Amino acid sequence: MGPLAKLDIPRPGTGLQQRLMEDAVSHLNPAPPITAAADGPVSDAIQLMKQHRVGCILALKDDQLTGVLSERDLLYKLAGARFISDEIKLQDVMTTRLVTLQMDDSIRFALHQMSVGGFRHIPVVKGEHPIGVISIKDVLRYINRAILQPSENEAEASSSAASQVSY
């Protein structure tokens, strides 16, 4: 094998890098999904977003995830409209090219999907049914906790190293 063979597959180092690569999306404690009928009025979905103070709504049809309505969708597709009538349906403005995660996917994979797709929110599904939503804020909170509260192994290693220091 060539000298670059070891670079093909990312390997976790220690600390935060290892936790991002190994910990599952479930560690982010995904928020319960706020859902609306895909064929319902977009104005109802907007009210749900405001009421729950969320950046996206999951659109369902027959209990199946069919789309995501995000703040960006509203900005790019409805900006400039004098008013939003009940005739405009959620399915008319939602994103239908879905990217989803499973609870056991790694946080690293979630970050990759967000980065490549330009998403701030990704639905978490079990089968075809939404069970949660993660946002970039969830990932940032996780990173903050990981930095402020290192794992037990890291704490033991640093206290062991500190005990070996001579002055």
Q: Which helix (H) or strand (E) holds 117?
A: helix 107-117
HSE (side-chain half, CA atoms, 13 Å) at 61: 11
DSSP-derived 3-state class of residue 123:
strand
Residues contacting residue 110 through CB under 8 Å, at least 6 positions apart: 25, 28, 101, 122, 134, 139
Residues contacting residue 74 through CB under 8 Å, at least 6 positions apart: 42, 46, 93
Model pTM?
Answer: 0.76
Maximum Cα interatomic distance, the chain, rounded to a whole number of Å: 75
pLDDT in tens for each of the 167 residues of the chain? 455 555 555 555 666 777 777 789 999 999 999 999 999 999 999 999 999 999 999 999 998 999 999 999 998 888 777 777 778 899 999 999 999 999 999 999 999 999 999 999 999 999 889 999 999 999 999 888 877 776 555 555 555 544 454 44
Residues contacting residue 65 through CB under 8 Å, at least 6 positions apart: 58, 59, 98, 100, 123, 125, 128, 129, 130
Structural domains in the chain plus CATH codes:
14-150 (3.10.580.10)
